[in-house]
Chain A
Amino acid sequence: MKKVFLSSVMMFFIVIGYSQGYSPGSKATDFKLLNVDGNMVSMTDFPDAKGFIIIFTCNSCPYSVAYEDRKIALSNKYRPLGYPVIALNPNDSLVQPKDSFSKMIERSKEKRLPYHYLLDTDQKVAKQYGATRTPHVYVLQKEKDDLIVKYIGAIDNNYEDAASTSERYVEAAVDALLQGKDVAVASTKAIGCGIKFKK
């Protein structure tokens, strides 16, 4: 009996260990993480939201920095429409000191970030969602009591030059959801900095 129990425990860990994270259609799990203002924040704190734009991002990655103004613009545009941006920093600050909590507070003040910027302690949420790089976006939609993943990937198709983008994936996804339509492009890939997981 003990053996059976042990092997099922082991199976459980094996399955978790090989989990690839979410894909479009997955149910997303809520989180409760420390925001730069010192409060704990979870998605249940937004009862009026129709969904969320979850962005795994950080201070140190040049791609995340290049997208900073575009993240602010997304927040300004979609928060009033019911899709607030929530940024999560998953990097281990022992590996990348620029991504410490105090540096997050500094960045938030300096850029006057209009969105919540949370520390993904122990990188639990990044692992659960399957985020691998920064920036890595998950658009979620509230459906009854669930949060359903509707889009995973890049913000748009030109990291270097916002003016040269021809496809704005996140905007297109949220616009489709606002109109009650299906998201046409539900996942994209982008070059990004690998998340600094604990060694």
Chain B
Amino acid sequence: MPPAGVVVAIALLVIGVCALVIRRDLVFKLLALGMVNSSTILLLISLDSRRSTTAPIVPPSAMAAVVDPLPQALVLAAIVINFAILALALVFVMVLAERYHTTDAGRIERAVAQEDER
């Protein structure tokens, strides 16, 4: 039986990808993308968690079993990158919403294609 975190991560991934395909609103699409990205982060953390281990802060005396600290350090970088991507994408959605007065992906696609042909 895999750790509970892994199961939750896979569930989040599936929900996120489905929402990315089904929802036509760009803001929802970005939320779904955020879910997919977070699910990966959860996967990275929970794959290396073991039962009866503690946080990787090694006390000077005890030799307690600790979690591998490397994934936790990596996740920080991944979180920052995902934040930057979502922030920049939202700015672009904002610009498109100002120009076309909609955040519907299908409508924007058609409007852009029409404008391109002219």
Q: Do A and B come from one complex?
A: no
Residues of chain A having any CB pair with chain B under 8 Å: none
Residues of chain B having any CB pair with chain A under 8 Å: none
